[in-house]
Amino acid sequence: MVKHPSLQEHYLAALDQLSKSAPDDPQVLAALGQKALTDGDSARAADYLSRALERGAEYPTTYLHLSEALARAGRDEEAAKVLERGVAAWPYAALLQKSLVLRYITLKQYPLAHAATKRYVELFPEDSFMRDSLNKLEGRTP
């Protein structure tokens, strides 16, 4: 839908139909959660995405979207916990790792942010922005 906006109408119609015929399917719940998040309904998005994870839609995007929904609802600590679970399940998902660093910074949990940044740079040394950020945190010049 993002790559081909012309398909949006068909996608939403199919999603509506699936929400009725397969309301507990984890993929349907994840898609409904993403739609609710896009529509600005954080509480509904968090509900759908939590249920999607419980039913097996354990993908990096599900964790990211749930974390975003919780953060938008002012539930930052829960958002961080979701990202921690996501990172544990998907340690090589760079976006999960980076999102966790940013969530820790938002929560002003700087020691955790530093440790997460260090872990991120160990896994993804090619990310010059994060590598430079770590060097600045540790008082080193690149």
Q: Which two tokens stand for residue 6?
A: 């012309």
Q: Which two tokens stand for residue 55?
A: 């039913």
- 68 pLDDT exceeds 60? yes
**Predicted structure pTM score:** 0.88
The predicted structure's pLDDT at residue 18 = 92
Instruction: Go through the domains of the chain in sequence order and give each one's CATH number.
Output: 5-137 (1.25.40.10)
Which of 29, 25, 31 minimizes the C-alpha distance to 12? Answer: 31
The pLDDT tens digits of the residues spanning 4-30 come to 888 888 888 998 899 999 999 999 999
The pLDDT tens digits of the residues spanning 78-113 come to 999 999 999 999 999 999 999 999 999 999 999 999
Count CB neighbours of 74 within 10 A: 10
Which of 76, 82, 77, 45 minimizes the C-alpha distance to 64? Answer: 82
